């Protein structure tokens, strides 16, 4: 059975091993043998061996395809409850044993995932570096002299080292992205409110998100699909909404990059070079680059530690900071204690300013689909961080602190390595509910880079053949063949409804093409035929489903929308013509498309 255990714990490799006969109990036995002494100080508590074995053995009796996360081992940040294990939030005096797991943990276990234990973090999730823990500074998976990133430090390191397939963290100001970047992982910071925070020790309850660390973007999407939902009894939950146009899978998309003067690398020339290489890689994938003004977002970021959200951190641990301050690390007391002199009027000043900044920042989405930034501008050593903890931590949040304040979704993606072998990562972000397109684009970026998985040295697996989307798009595709083509007189009817061009292609070679007689001038019609057909030039556009009805209602007879077969065998809604419509029409099939016919016609 040992021979069946895959060298990589990514979901594709693990699923293949299970289909070939591996049992979850055998995998768990192997992982327990590998566990070792934890020199990176990634773990705080392990799941009791007998309990973990019992969970694995219960899965042994089931078919591998019976559960979406069958036998997948995962780790949990120790500010997220797991039934029967202490939750410490990296404060030993705070430790308590919950009677119930956090809702997101329950969802994952119900889907077949196996919880391995609780991971280290910056105390009370306050920090981006991973050194603020009485359980020891968590060390980078590539070089123990460097920080792991935080606050979800152990969650990232455990996955990077191949000790778990994925892990849960939390992300309020970058805690689910910075550790991903520093350990060569994908880190998803979902849209606020979509993944349950019941059973999570709050940092800023209004901003907190449960994040996902994974070896690949495809893995992150599969885990996200299971984790979604819940929290119906909590005030910050929100319903999943369709994500709209999937720029992540489009052959062409628009991406923003900060103006050169707004990029900060804090003296790290390798990170600056690697960011430029990532921009070029996105362009090679079909991205159209546009410089944007990041300043409103950077201003919003400064509010995080200057206004009511510090008071919200204070509120989360008020009992401890007021009655037992000695239980907190000095740096945590210093940061959170800064909220004490804030007044209510200061909070409203910050709320009003944030609303202004969000209006200005959101204007960027009229011109780009996604924004690309470094995840962090540099990576410090543990020694340097301990010597200057507040300034260095602040600098690590340069590109991350504004994200939840402005209600954006984000994915951290591996983007190469410095000359000394330390990883560099970038972040892709977009408006709320764009999580799935972000993950799709992240997958393309990761595969274009082709770097190994985490710190394991294992190659990327082949991409999944089929992967159901975690969230519906809410979009409808329609093939057009005449005046609705890009740049032609009726194309505005699509643009006014928010439509985007997906691809220019051809129909299957099964249609005759006509210039129709009568009615509005210059109307083409496509008729499907059993023989003698040809491939006709078409464009596939995508528009929100809520606008599809009004678009169809404006189409004059004898034209209509039916199913049209494309050259690659796909069927999409598209313009077709009733057979009676060809009476008196001119057969223009030989031109192969409306543009060619119009050009010849003069």
Which active-site residues does the annotation give? 77, 151, 175
Q: How do strand 500-506 and strand 537-544 relate by DSSP bridges?
A: antiparallel
Instruction: Check whether the bond before 558 is cis (ω within 30° of 0).
Output: yes
Tokens read off for 213: 């660390």
DSSP state letters, 451-468: PPBTTTTBPPPPPPS---
Q: Is 454 left (phi over 0), alpha (psi -120 to 50) or beta?
A: left
CA distances from 120 to 88, 249, 251, 457 (A): 9, 36, 41, 24
**By the 8 A CB rule, do 570 and 515 touch?**
no
The whole-angstrom separation of Cα 224 and Cα 209 is 12
**By the 8 A CB rule, do 230 and 197 touch?**
no
The whole-angstrom separation of Cα 565 and Cα 561 is 12
The whole-angstrom separation of Cα 181 and Cα 427 is 9
Tokens read off for 580: 């009676």
The whole-angstrom separation of Cα 189 and Cα 165 is 18
3-state helix, strand, coil in the chain (%, to 5): 35, 20, 45
The whole-angstrom separation of Cα 513 and Cα 170 is 56
The whole-angstrom separation of Cα 74 and Cα 64 is 17
**By the 8 A CB rule, do 374 and 412 touch?**
no
Q: How do strand 586-587 and strand 43-46 relate by DSSP bridges?
A: unpaired
**By the 8 A CB rule, do 413 and 446 touch?**
yes
Distance from the first to the final alpha carbon of the chain? 73
Cα 402–chain centre separation: 16
**By the 8 A CB rule, do 220 and 445 touch?**
no
Report phi then psi at 171, rounded to 5. Answer: -145, 110
- Supply the DSSP symbol for 290: E
**By the 8 A CB rule, do 217 and 186 touch?**
yes
DSSP state letters, 114-125: EEEEEE--SGGG
Residue bearing tokens 């408006």:
431
**By the 8 A CB rule, do 156 and 376 touch?**
no
The whole-angstrom separation of Cα 164 and Cα 186 is 14
Tokens read off for 287: 């991205």
């Amino acid at each position: 059975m040992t021979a069946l255990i895959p060298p990589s714990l990514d979901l594709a490799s693990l699923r293949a091993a299970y289909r070939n006969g591996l049992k979850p109990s055998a995998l768990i036995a192997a992982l327990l043998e590998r566990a070792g002494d934890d020199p990176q100080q990634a773990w705080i508590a392990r799941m009791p061996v007998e309990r973990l074995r019992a969970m694995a053995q219960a899965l042994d009796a089931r078919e591998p395809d019976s559960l979406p996360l069958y036998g997948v081992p995962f780790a949990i940040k120790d500010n997220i409850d797991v039934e029967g294990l202490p939750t410490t939030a990296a404060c030993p005096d705070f430790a308590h044993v919950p009677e119930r797991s956090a809702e997101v943990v329950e969802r994952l276990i119900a889907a077949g995932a196996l919880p391995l234990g609780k991971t280290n973090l910056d105390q009370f999730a306050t920090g981006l570096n991973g050194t603020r823990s009485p359980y020891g500074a968590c060390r980078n998976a590539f070089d123990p002299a460097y920080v792991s990133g935080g606050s979800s430090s152990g969650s990232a390191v455990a996955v990077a080292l191949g000790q778990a397939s994925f892990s849960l963290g939390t992300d309020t100001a970058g805690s689910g992205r910075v550790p991903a970047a520093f350990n060569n992982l994908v880190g998803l910071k979902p849209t606020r409110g979509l993944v349950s925070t019941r059973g999570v020790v709050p940092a800023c309850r209004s901003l907190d998100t449960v994040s996902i660390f994974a070896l690949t973007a495809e893995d992150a999407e599969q885990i996200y699909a299971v984790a979604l939902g819940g929290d119906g009894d909590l005030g910050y939950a929100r319903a999943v909404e369709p994500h709209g146009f999937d720029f992540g899978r489009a052959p062409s998309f628009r991406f923003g990059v900060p103006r050169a003067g707004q990029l900060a690398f804090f003296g790290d020339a390798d990170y600056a070079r690697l960011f430029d290489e990532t921009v070029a890689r996105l362009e090679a994938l079909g991205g159209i680059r546009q410089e944007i003004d990041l300043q409103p977002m950077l201003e919003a970021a400064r509010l995080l530690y200057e206004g009511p959200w510090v008071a919200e951190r204070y509120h989360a641990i008020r009992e401890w900071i007021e009655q037992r301050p000695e239980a907190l690390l000095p740096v945590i007391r210093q940061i959170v204690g800064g909220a004490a002199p804030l007044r209510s009027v200061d909070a409203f000043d910050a709320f009003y300013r944030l609303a202004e900044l969000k209006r200005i920042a959101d204007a960027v989405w009229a011109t780009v689909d996604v924004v690309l930034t470094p995840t962090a501008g540099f990576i410090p050593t543990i020694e340097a961080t301990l010597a200057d903890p507040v300034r260095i931590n602040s600098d690590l949040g340069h590109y991350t602190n504004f994200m939840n304040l402005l209600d954006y979704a984000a994915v951290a993606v591996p983007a190469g390595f410095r000359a000394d072998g330390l990883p560099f990562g970038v972040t892709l972000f977009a408006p709320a509910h764009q999580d799935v397109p972000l993950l799709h684009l992240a997958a393309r970026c990761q595969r274009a880079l082709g770097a190994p998985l985490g710190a394991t040295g294992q190659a990327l697996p082949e991409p999944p053949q089929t992967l159901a989307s975690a969230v519906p798009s809410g979009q409808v595709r329609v093939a057009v063949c005449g005046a609705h083509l890009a740049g032609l007189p009726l194309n505005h009817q699509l643009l006014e409804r928010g439509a985007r061009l997906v691809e220019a292609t051809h129909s299957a070679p099964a249609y005759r093409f006509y210039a129709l007689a009568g009615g509005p001038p210059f109307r083409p019609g496509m008729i499907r035929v059993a023989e003698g057909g040809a491939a006709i030039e078409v464009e596939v556009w995508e528009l929100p489903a809520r606008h599809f009805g009004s678009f169809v209602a404006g189409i004059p007879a004898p034209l209509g929308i039916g199913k049209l077969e494309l050259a690659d065998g796909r069927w999409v809604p598209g313009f077709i013509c009733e057979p009676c419509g060809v009476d008196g029409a001119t057969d223009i099939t030989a031109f192969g498309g409306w543009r060619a016919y119009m050009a010849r016609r003069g």
